[in-house]
Chains A and B, each alone.
Chain A
Amino acid sequence: MTTVEMPPARSVPEHTGSRLTRALGGAVLVTWTLWLLWGLVLSPADVVQHESVRLFYLHVPMAIMSSVTFSITLIGSIMVLRNGSVFWDLMAGVAAEIGVMFLGLVIATGAVWGKPTWGTYWEWDPRLTTAALMFLVYLGYLVIRRLDMDPVVRARRAAVFGIVAFINVPLTRFSVQIWNSLHQETTISLTDTQMDGAQLTSYALGMLAMATFLAWLLVHRFRVAWLEHAMDESGLEKLIRDRRAEGAANEPGGVR
């Protein structure tokens, strides 16, 4: 029986860390510390929303980051259909995973904020309803990515759905303007900022903290996905080599 050697162990990294992720991890620690300090201690309670305003520093940055991740999924999906890129297929998938996680937390923190502010955890408000629908649509996207079928076919189908699903992102973003919504309109924009002082600093730190956290998560999760892909590929190659070796051994005059 012919033995087939496994690829050398050094070709597969033992972890997903690198100088880049350690730098990003350090930035996450610093920005989160500053954000928690300003958001929970240094900034005052709001005149209208009282202490619940502190959820705003978490809720809004997470909502923006979820839109960023779904945009990455859109770009990745287009690239998959253009050139069948494995890199972009994996990137689209991991971005959607993180986006769904962020969006789930956005809905949860919104419900916690809604109870003291609106008197209810859930309201059939356009922003809440479209966000919940977007959550379900991207869950569907993640289900497609786990279908038991040929990886290339699955990547193409997920890419088509990833592009169609994106229509929910602008719809959710502009739902407050389209319908008469209970949800407050944009508080911060480039031309009109309705916050100042420690509140604005807390919000800016929240954005920075979430952006670095997203980058850190994205790099690590992508590397895990890449390693899984490499393992699947090497496992398949090993199986093919084994079958060929068995075939050669069973031929007359083959190795016994």
Chain B
Amino acid sequence: MNRLVADAWRIARKDLAIERSSRVVGSQILPFGIVMLLLFAFGVDPELQVRGGERSILAEIAPGLFWITVLLALLLVSGRSFAVESDDGSLDALLVSGVHPGSILAGKTLVVAIQLALLEVVVGAGSMLLFGVRVDDPLHLLVVMLSTTVALAGAGTLLLAVVAGYSGRDTLGPLLVLPSMAPVLIGATAASGAALYGTGSDGAAWTWALVAFALLYGAAGIVSAGALLEDV
């Protein structure tokens, strides 16, 4: 168990070092989030008010837009996570060196989660500045963001590992990930709405569901990693 965790941490540090040197997060992923915010403002009139002028329609639907942005970014981040390994055969080298496949998947999940968390900070701050979003319950929002990020990172890494090494992975990946992640998206939007504005009566239930999703996808990734990563 200790070795599994230690190897996962080594894989995560290796991937973080790759990301730091490539600067893809700062130069591509974070700008992608800002572009999405601007596109939403172009697509939906920011002047439109709802709930008797209490807030703009963009602020009202911000939870959904926020998680759609994170979900789309997940495709970029997770896809890249496996591309750097499988394109030059370094995944084979890792497996031959005796690293448990579960450690590889767990390490990659951690790095994907860190990158998504960075994006969430930027997009969240942007939503508050540009859309006028306010937060009623910051602690609740933090739990929602943490559990959703782990669930998305776990599931995204797991599902994109299914098509790792396949030449058509860039087109097939979204077909597998996007509909599969719909339950997480629905739950994250409902729970975030409750944390932001206190709307909806089932925010707590959805928050628990998100924690369950995070544990489920994280465990599924570690358990099935051997079946997925051999012969990539």
Interface residues of A (CB under 8 A from B): 81, 130, 133, 136-137, 139-140, 143-144, 147, 149-150, 152-153, 156-157, 159-161, 163-165, 167-168, 171
Contact = CB atoms under 8 A, between A and B. Distances in A.
B76 interface: no
B231 A160 contact: no
7 contacts: A133-B179, A143-B175, A144-B162, A147-B172, A156-B228, A163-B220, A164-B155
B8 to A, nearest CB: 19
A81 B165 CA distance: 20
Q: Which of B172, B179, B217, B228 has the most CB of A within 10 A?
A: B179
Given A81-B224, A81-B227, A140-B176, A160 B162 contact: yes
Contacts of B162: 144, 157, 160-161
A163 B179 contact: no
B158 interface: yes
Given A152-B231, A163-B220, 14 more contacts: A81-B224, A81-B227, A133-B179, A133-B182, A137-B176, A139-B175, A140-B180, A144-B162, A147-B163, A156-B227, A156-B230, A163-B224, A164-B159, A165-B180
B228 to A, nearest CB: 6
Contacts of A81: 224, 227
A78 to B, nearest CB: 11
A136 B179 contact: yes
B166 interface: yes
Interface in B202-228: 216-217, 220, 224, 227-228
Nearest to A141: B176
Nearest to B155: A164
A143 B216 CA distance: 24
Interface string B74-102: 00000000000000000000000000000
Interface of B: 155, 158-159, 162-163, 165-166, 168, 172, 175-176, 179-180, 182-183, 216-217, 220, 224, 227-228, 230-231
Given A140-B176, A163-B220, A168 B227 contact: no
A140 B178 CA distance: 10
A57 B224 CA distance: 40
Contacts of A130: 182
B172 A149 contact: no
A164 B213 CA distance: 11
A157 B176 CA distance: 12
B26 to A, nearest CB: 32
Nearest to A167: B183
A7 B175 CA distance: 41
Given A147-B166, A164-B158, A164-B159, A159 B227 contact: yes
Contact of A137 (B172, B179, B217): B179
A160 B179 contact: no
Nearest to A138: B179
Given A81-B227, A149-B166, A153-B231, A161 B183 contact: no
Q: Which of B217, B220, B231 has the most CB of A within 10 A?
A: B231
Nearest to A81: B227
Nearest to A158: B162
A137 B166 contact: no
Contacts of A144: 162-163, 172, 176
Contacts of A149: 165-166
Given A144-B162, A147-B166, A156-B228, A161 B176 contact: yes
A233 to B, nearest CB: 19
A139 B178 CA distance: 13
Contacts of B158: 160, 164
A222 to B, nearest CB: 23
Nearest to B171: A143
Closest 3 CB pairs of A and B: A136-B179, A156-B227, A160-B224
Nearest to A171: B183
A164 B54 CA distance: 41
B220 A150 contact: no
B227 A164 contact: no
A86 to B, nearest CB: 15
Contacts of B179: 133, 136-137, 140
Contacts of A140: 172, 175-176, 179-180
B172 A164 contact: no
A137 B180 contact: yes
A164 B228 contact: no
